[in-house]
Homo-oligomer: A and B are copies of this chain.
Amino acid sequence: MIEKPLIDIELAIEARWVVPVTPQRQTLEYTAVIIDQGRILDVLPIELARQHYRAKQVVSLDEHVLIPGLINLHTHAAMTLMRGLADDLPLMPWLQEHIWPAEKQWLSSQFVRDGSLLACAEMLGGGVTCFNDMYFYPQATAEACIQAGMRAHLGLVVIEFASVYANDADDYLQKGLDARDSLRNNPLLSFSLAPHAPYTIENSTFEKVMTYSEQLGLGIHTHLHETKAEIELGISQYATRPLRRLLDLGLLGPDFIAAHGVHLLPEEMEMLAAHGCHIVHCPTSNLKLASGIAPVPALLNKGVNVGLGTDGAASNNRLDMFAEMRLAALLAKGTSVDAAVLPAAQALEMATINAAKALGLDDKIGSIEIGKFADISAVRIADLETSPCFDPLSHLIYACGREHVSHVWVAGELRYEKSHHQNGVYANIEPAELKEISAKWQSKLTQYK
């Protein structure tokens, strides 16, 4: 018998569970993810992995679940600096009396760099490896991403009003495209055109965006139908609802990402589906600003690809994709009066593979599959609040929070790690003992799963 030589690889992550987010929706047990040159080379049982691969580094995660790095499909990263600046206010006073004056006085490249770095730190610590951004000074956001070692899809923002960043729509476009030119060789960065919203962009600008989109192969990221007021304004100005206007302008297509989509008629959902558009559901922000609740079960039924976003920290006030996954699952059930709607597996898909599809990056990220980049987060399921554990996928959505994230890799590089050696101490409770008791009951109850 001739032994096959071991294959040398850089990193093997051996995990108790892996939820790879593939169409089969399986949960793998005692599985190794084999990583080399930033990519996933293999996914196989730990025993087999040890027979086939010799890893420079082995990370053993015996009480953890590996998931694809989460993707925040709509945010304004730099706005972390305005987290909790103003709350419990209707949209217009919130914007006009707090957010816009603060931006007007303090917006700068440094502001965006600092705020984006804070956002990167918060997101990485919560298992997010990629975000789809829209804000001024995308170059400064890029610098933060590069420092953090995080993946980003940067929206080159366009808006009709002047700011310290740019003078007019053409200037925004030019500055955005210049930023892209200087950054486009970075493998962690990709770009889209980001006309802010139908109510802040004129038709002529949308036409220019279309031209650049076609010429440069760039997707389009915009806010759409977030509030009823915005739709009414659109009707009064353009004699048509905003989505129909964008259709008439030729913007809708598989490269079109619309954030929010709270207020959509059935025929509008069909229009989005027919054109292969993507919706970013931002449940926390939509509730907090009292915009409403997007019709996610209907969108999914009609075949629209739906991802999840936090929106900016000024209206959330977290960049926490665990919170968005849970809230999306809960709201879909509660509003459709059907507890089977949007099960845990689908919530995780919305935060991973669906988002990757929307970004046109689903050949590179969004699942733990051979050939993709090793953008992976590990979630530790070993605390009392995640005990017992009958199903790690259920726990990911309903019991875990971002605080259970223990390791985050981007393209195979470890970008965040948290030690859990110091757990809480109780006066009269011994957590280790209680976990054993819980495990004992779990084995008895597993038959009812």
Contacts and interface: CB of A to CB of B under 8 A. Distances in A.
Interface in A286-339: 286-293, 316-320, 327, 329-331, 333-339
A257 B441 CA distance: 31
B339 A118 contact: no
Interface stretch (A131-139, A203-211, A394-402): A394-402
Contacts of A385: 122, 125-126, 318-320, 402
B124 A426 contact: yes
A89 interface: yes
Interface string A91-104: 10010011101100
Interface residues of A, number: 103
Given A126-B385, A288-B398, A448 B316 contact: no
Given A330-B287, A388-B81, A414 B427 contact: yes
Interface stretch (A212-220, A267-275, A355-363, A417-425): A417-425
Interface in A336-393: 336-344, 384-385, 387-391
Given A118-B437, A287-B330, A438-B118, A428 B148 contact: yes
Contacts of A245: none
A444 B114 CA distance: 13
A87 interface: yes
Contacts of A316: 398
B401 A415 contact: no
User: In the complex this chain forms, how many copies of it are found?
Assistant: 2
A77 to B, nearest CB: 13
Nearest to A313: B399
A418 B429 contact: no
B84 A399 contact: yes
Interface string A63-91: 00000000000000000111111111111
Contact of A339 (B289, B384, B390): B289
A415 B421 contact: no
Given A81-B438, A122-B384, 4 more contacts: A83-B390, A84-B394, A98-B448, A288-B339
A20 interface: no
Interface string A427-449: 11101001001100110110011
A106 interface: yes
8 contacts: A84-B391, A88-B340, A120-B429, A121-B429, A125-B424, A290-B334, A293-B335, A416-B425
